[in-house]
Amino acid sequence: MSQPELEAIHRAPSFSLIIFGASGDLAYRKLLPALFTLACNDLLPENYVLLGAARTPYTDDAFRDHIRQGVEEFGRIKPDECDRWQEFASRLYYQHIQYDERADFQTLKQRLEELEKAHQTAPNRLFYLAIPPSIYPVVVENLGEVDFAQEQEGHFARLIVEKPFGTDYNSAFALNQHIHRYFREDQVYRIDHYLGKETVQNLLVFRFANAIFEPLWNRHYIDHVQISVLESVAVGKRGGYYDQAGVMRDMFQNHLMQLISLTAMEPPNEWDATQLRDEKVKVLRAVRPPRDGALRTNTVRAQYRSTDGSGPTYRLEPGVDPHSETPTYAALTLYIDNWRWKGVPFYLRSGKALAAKTTEIYVQFKEVPHLLFEAQGVDLAPNALSICLQPHEGFHLRFQTKVPGAGMRTQDVDMRFNFATTFGDKSLPEAYERLLLDAVLGDASLFSREDEILVSWQIIDAILQGWERGDGPPLTFYEPGSWGPITAHNMLAVWGRSWSVDCFKSEGAKTVG
Ligand code: BG6
C-alpha cells in the first residue's frame, strides 16, 4: 500500500461494524479473520467497534473465543502471529437478537450507543447482512424503522449486502426498492467477493496501465475470449441452497458477469466508482444472450454424476431433489454487440466437482494474415494470453519462436509472469480485507451498483427462462473429477477451438479424482 493510501486510512473516521449473522460461517471464516488481518497490518483507524448480532445465544467472551478459533483456522495472520489479539478482542461484542423483533433492534441500538461511548467512536455505522437472503427484507425494515439508516450530521450509515442479491430480475428489483425505502443507493454496498480479489483488480491495471495490449483488445485482433471458473469442490453440505440456485445463479450472475465486464469494458476516464460502474453497465447492456435456436447450440447445462459410485453424484447430495434438473455446470457462448466486440465469441464456463480449481481468462489472438511457414508443414498455434486469477496468479503469453538449427521450424513458447515469484507468497490480501476496508473508507468502486445487478439478471434470466421453456439443450452429465461434459467441449470443437487450461497446466498441478 502506498504512503498516501496509508495516510488516508489513518485519517479514516472511527466506525462501528454491526454484523448480522455473526454466528455463521461467513463471519467465522472470512469477515473476522479479514478484520484481524487489517488490524495487524495497522489498516484500521484507531477507534472502532465490532458488534456481532445473531440468533445463537453467546456471551461476549464466548463469542470472542469462537472467533479466535476462526481466525486461527482461516486467518491470513493468526492470533499468535501479531500482538494485537487482546486489543482486537476487546473491541468485539455480541448481541443476541431475533431478526423479526423490532424491540431487539431498539436494544441493539442502545447497546451500540453505549459501546460507541466506551470506545470513543463516532456514529459512523456499517451494517453487514451476512444472513440468509430470505431475511434481508425484515432486517432492512427493522434497521430503517429504528432510524439506523439515518445519517447523523457529518457521519455515515452504510448497508453491506452479501450475494445472492435476488434470484432473478424481478426479485432483485423488488429488493432494491425495499432497501431504497430506507437507504439511498450511495449508502448501499453490494458485495461480489470476486471484485475484492487482487488479480481481478489487476485485470484493470493490466488493461489500462499498459500501452501494448489495449490497441489489440478488439474484434480486429482477437479471435475469441474464454472465461473459465472451475472448482474441484462438490456441492457438499450446501445442497439445500444450491438446488434452488444452480451454477447460473450461484456463479454466472455475479462472478462471471463481473469478469466479462472487466475484460470487455471501455476504459473509464478516471478511477472513480461512478465512472467505473458506468462502463461496466454499458458493456453488460451490450451482451446478447443466446435466444431461441441459439440456446441449443450456444449453451450447455450439466450435472456431475459418478457412473461407478466412486465419486459424488449431485442428485445424491444431502438437500438435493433426487430428480433435480439443476445444473452444476454451464457453458455459454455470448456475443457483445458493440463496435469493439461485434462477432467475437466470449465462451464462459463454470462448474463444480471438476478436475481442478482454476480461474482463467484466455484471450486468443487471430492468426497471422499470411502463413510464411505453412509450406513447410508447420502448424502455427496463434498467440494467446492467459490471465490466471487463481489459485496461481499470473500471466502467460504464447508466441512463436524458431527452433534452432537448419530450416525454419517454429515452436510456440510461453512467457510467464507469476505474482508469488515477484511479490512473495504472502503478498496477496484476501478479498474481504480489501472490500471491508473500502466500505469503511466509502469507496464503492468494487461494489455492485443497482443497475449492474439488474442488467446481469436480465442476461441470466433470458437463458434460464429459455431453458425452462424447453428451448435449451438437454441436461447432460459429467464425471466428478473430469474437465466437464463432452457437450461443452463440442460447443467449441465445432469451431475448431478448444478450452484452455493453460493456467492449470503451467503450474504442473495435479488433478483430483
Ligand atoms: C461463491 C459461491 O460465491 O463463490 C460458491 O457461492 C463458490 O459456490 C465460491 O464455491 C467460489 O469462490 P472462490 O473465491 O473460491 O473462487
Does residue 367 sit within a domain?
Answer: yes
Cell of 315: 442428485
Peptide bond preceding 391 in cis form (omega within 30 of 0): yes
Are residue 317 and residue 429 in the same domain, yes or no?
A: yes
Does residue 232 sit within a domain?
Answer: yes
Are residue 398 and residue 270 in the same domain, yes or no?
A: yes
| pLDDT score of 199 | 87
Domain that holds residue 141: 3-162
Are residue 210 and residue 99 in the same domain, yes or no?
A: no
| pLDDT score of 8 | 63
Task: Read off the CATH number of the domain in which 223 is found.
Answer: 3.30.360.10
Does residue 235 sit within a domain?
Answer: yes
| pLDDT score of 2 | 62
> Which atom of ligand 1 is the closest one to the Cα of 242?
8
| pLDDT score of 429 | 86
| pLDDT score of 509 | 45
Does residue 413 sit within a domain?
Answer: yes
CA angle at residue 448 from 55 to 8, to 5 degrees?
90
| pLDDT score of 301 | 98
Are residue 155 and residue 201 in the same domain, yes or no?
A: no
Query: What is the whole-number distance in angstroms between the Cα of residue 473 and the centre of ligand 1?
Result: 25
Q: Is 462 helix (H, G, I), strand (E, B) or coil?
A: helix
Note down pLDDT in tens along the chain; length 513 residues.
666 666 666 667 899 999 999 999 999 999 999 999 999 999 998 899 999 999 999 999 999 999 999 999 999 999 999 999 999 999 999 999 999 999 999 999 999 999 999 999 999 999 999 999 999 999 999 999 999 999 999 999 999 999 999 999 999 999 999 999 999 999 999 999 999 998 888 899 999 999 999 999 999 999 999 999 999 999 998 999 999 999 999 999 999 999 999 999 999 999 899 999 999 999 999 999 998 889 999 999 999 999 999 999 999 999 999 999 999 999 999 999 999 999 999 999 999 999 999 999 999 999 888 877 754 455 688 999 999 998 888 999 998 888 888 777 788 889 998 888 888 866 688 999 999 999 999 999 999 999 999 999 999 999 999 999 999 999 999 999 999 999 999 999 999 999 999 888 876 544 333
| pLDDT score of 418 | 87
Are residue 145 and residue 239 in the same domain, yes or no?
A: no
- Work out whether the CA dihedral 363, 368, 371, 376 comes out positive or negative: negative
Please tell me the total count of domains within the chain.
Answer: 2
Choice from 163, 197, 231 to test ligand 1 binding pocket (greatest atom count within 8 A of CB): 231
Does this model's pTM top 0.85? My answer is yes
Are residue 105 and residue 230 in the same domain, yes or no?
A: no
What lies within 8 Å, CB to CB, of 136 at 6+ separation is 129, 161, 175
Query: Which residue ranges have their beta carbon within 6 Å of ligand 1?
Result: 163, 231, 250
CA distance 467 to 249: 14
- Other C-beta atoms lying within 10 Å of the C-beta of residue 337: 11
Query: What is the whole-number distance in angstroms between the Cα of residue 253 and the centre of ligand 1?
Result: 12
Choice from 201, 228, 244, 255 to test ligand 1 binding pocket (greatest atom count within 8 A of CB): 255
Query: What is the whole-number distance in angstroms between the Cα of residue 201 and the centre of ligand 1?
Result: 17
CA distance 16 to 141: 20
Cα–Cα distances (Å) from 96 to 25, 303, 371, 410, 512, in that order, read 17, 40, 71, 68, 42
CA distance 49 to 490: 54
Query: What is the whole-number distance in angstroms between the Cα of residue 233 and the centre of ligand 1?
Result: 10
Q: Is 354 helix (H, G, I), strand (E, B) or coil?
A: strand
Catalytic site includes residue 255: yes
